[in-house]
């Protein structure tokens, strides 16, 4: 039996990443019980786990293209799925070292998978369908995260134990990884892609020389840095509205899918969403009014994810794009943005320490850094094409 229905293929990819998010965030939410079971109460040890996870994201996204080029996208995605399933060790880990290894490999698998979305979408779907599919993949992590944030207690009550819940997520991921092996995936070969067009070799060196990749990664880096800060530091600063960002992020993504399907131009939605992000980040960070912070979080959540469909569609619409090139592009995109956001997070925490626990300077920093999304929109190419019929209608109206 071979799976050749493109929508079934997308369902496997989508659910795989939802399960990763559930296992990942579920492990984070259960970290108190895990550390307690190991009799570890060191904050430094807990911080080291977070650091290892961040390293996995940087290394994983950078190495993802190499793995794909060596094993092909089908088996590279399978390897990513197996790494994610290693999360099964998290509730069983007999010591801190194995816990650290399981979280690192799981993070590595998630980093691989997010890069492989794009060559898979490019392989299975025509250009006009890709914005919708890219948007669905973009919301997968939020859905998994939302399920855990709002329903983890209910899930634990259903399974009877937090360990059983985490085991269930990992077993489901493992089973789905073997279902993925049934997918009929014919790789690009003999210098031609699946459409018969000549494939130009595009290596890491080519990617690093390509100005687009740097503009693309830098555009996203400020947004990513803020998003990680939101869940890492904002609760410690007494700002607890992050759940509203997650919830309305799902709404924003779905709205972005519809918008990008109807409106082909990519840069306007990125630019004005970037401007709204800056305003709402300032409102969330500096307002002393709880209702204004909540409103800012709601609007912010919407506009963080509203332009993501347009953003991830840009490489798909570049001329002469191939599966190999798009894998390298997104590998560099995520590794550049994760590397820079890690440095920014360190600076954020350092400023808090220097100012004896005062977050003002750190909030100013992250508000300024978040502007990369707005500024970057002036350096990205416009890949959307307005339909000729639309242009004729406008001319007739004039």
- Looking at per-residue pLDDT, the higher value among 287 and 51 belongs to 287
State residue 218's pLDDT score.
Answer: 95
Render 258-285 in DSSP notation, one character per residue.
Answer: HHHHH----HHHHHHHHHHHHHHHHHHH
**Confidence label for 335 from pLDDT (cuts 50, 70 and 90):** very high
State residue 231's pLDDT score.
Answer: 76
pLDDT in tens, 217-247: 999 999 999 988 887 788 888 888 877 887 7
**Confidence label for 390 from pLDDT (cuts 50, 70 and 90):** very low
- Res 70 pLDDT > 50: yes
What angle in degrees, to the nearest 10, is found between the helix axes of 308-316 and 323-354? 140
For the chain, the helix, strand and coil percentages under 3-state DSSP, each to the nearest 5: 80, 0, 20
Q: Could you tell me the residue ranges of all domains in the chain?
A: 1-185, 203-384
From the list 152, 205, 195, 185, the residue with the least C-alpha distance to 78 is: 185
* Size of the chain in residues: 398
What are the beta bridge partners of residue 198?
192
Contact (Cβ atoms closer than 8 angstroms) between residue 326 and residue 119: yes
State residue 46's pLDDT score.
Answer: 56
Task: Bin 210: left if φ > 0, else alpha if -120 < ψ < 50, else beta.
Answer: beta
Contact (Cβ atoms closer than 8 angstroms) between residue 24 and residue 76: no
DSSP reduced 3-state for 187: coil
User: Kind and range of the H or E element at 379?
Assistant: none
**Confidence label for 139 from pLDDT (cuts 50, 70 and 90):** confident
pLDDT in tens, 258-271: 998 888 899 999 99
pLDDT in tens, 187-224: 654 444 545 555 568 888 999 999 999 999 999 999 99
Question: Mean per-residue pLDDT for 144-157?
Answer: 84
State residue 252's pLDDT score.
Answer: 92
Phi, psi of 270 (to 5 degrees): -65, -45
Contact (Cβ atoms closer than 8 angstroms) between residue 221 and residue 372: yes
| CA pair distance 367, 381, nearest whole angstrom | 25
State residue 50's pLDDT score.
Answer: 60
- Give the pTM: 0.84
- Res 61 pLDDT > 80: yes
| CA pair distance 44, 383, nearest whole angstrom | 46
pLDDT in tens, 160-187: 888 888 899 999 999 999 999 999 877 6
User: What's the gap between Cα 391 and its chain centre?
Assistant: 35
Give CATH superfamily name and number for 1-185. Answer: MFS general substrate transporter like domains (1.20.1250.20)
State residue 391's pLDDT score.
Answer: 44
Specify whether domain 203-384 bears CATH 1.20.1250.20: yes
DSSP reduced 3-state for 303: helix
Contacts of residue 129, Cβ cutoff 8 Å, sequence gap at least 6: none
């Amino acid at each position: 039996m071979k799976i050749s229905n493109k929508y079934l293929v997308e369902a496997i990819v989508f659910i795989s990443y939802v399960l990763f998010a559930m296992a990942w965030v579920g492990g984070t939410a259960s970290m108190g019980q895990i550390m307690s079971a190991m009799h570890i109460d060191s904050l430094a040890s807990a911080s080291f786990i977070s650091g290892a996870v961040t390293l996995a994201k940087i290394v994983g996204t950078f190495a993802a293209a190499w793995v794909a080029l060596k094993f092909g996208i089908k088996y590279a995605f399978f390897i990513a799925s197996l790494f994610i399933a290693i999360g099964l060790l998290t509730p069983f880990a007999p010591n801190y070292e194995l816990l650290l290894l399981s979280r690192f490999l799981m993070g590595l698998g998630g980093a691989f998978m997010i890069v492989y979305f794009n060559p898979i979408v490019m392989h299975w779907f025509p250009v006009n369908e890709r914005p919708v599919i890219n948007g669905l993949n973009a919301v997968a992590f939020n859905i998994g995260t939302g399920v855990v944030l709002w329903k983890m207690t209910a899930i634990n009550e259903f399974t009877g134990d937090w360990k059983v819940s985490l085991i269930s997520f990992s077993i489901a991921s493992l089973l789905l990884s073997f279902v993925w092996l049934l997918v009929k995936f014919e790789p690009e070969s003999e210098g031609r892609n699946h459409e018969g067009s000549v494939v130009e070799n595009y290596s890491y060196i080519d990617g690093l020389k390509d100005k687009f990749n740097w503009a693309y990664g830098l555009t996203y880096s400020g947004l990513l840095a803020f998003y990680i800060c939101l869940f890492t530091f904002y609760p410690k600063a007494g700002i607890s509205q992050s759940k509203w960002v997650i919830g309305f992020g799902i709404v924003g993504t779905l709205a972005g899918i519809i918008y990008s399907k109807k409106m082909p131009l990519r840069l306007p939605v990125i630019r004005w969403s970037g401007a709204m992000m800056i305003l709402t980040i300032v409102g969330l960070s500096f307002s002393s009014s709880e209702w204004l912070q909540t409103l800012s979080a709601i609007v912010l959540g919407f506009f963080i994810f509203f332009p993501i469909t347009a953003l991830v569609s840009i490489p798909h619409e570049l001329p002469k794009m191939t599966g190999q090139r798009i894998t390298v592009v997104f590998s560099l995109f995520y590794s550049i943005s994760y590397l820079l956001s890690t440095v920014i997070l360190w600076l954020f925490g350092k400023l808090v320490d220097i100012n004896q626990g005062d977050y003002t300077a750190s909030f100013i920093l992250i508000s300024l850094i978040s502007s990369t999304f707005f500024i970057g929109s002036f350096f990205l190419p416009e890949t959307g094409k307005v339909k000729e019929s639309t242009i004729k209608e406008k001319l007739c109206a004039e």
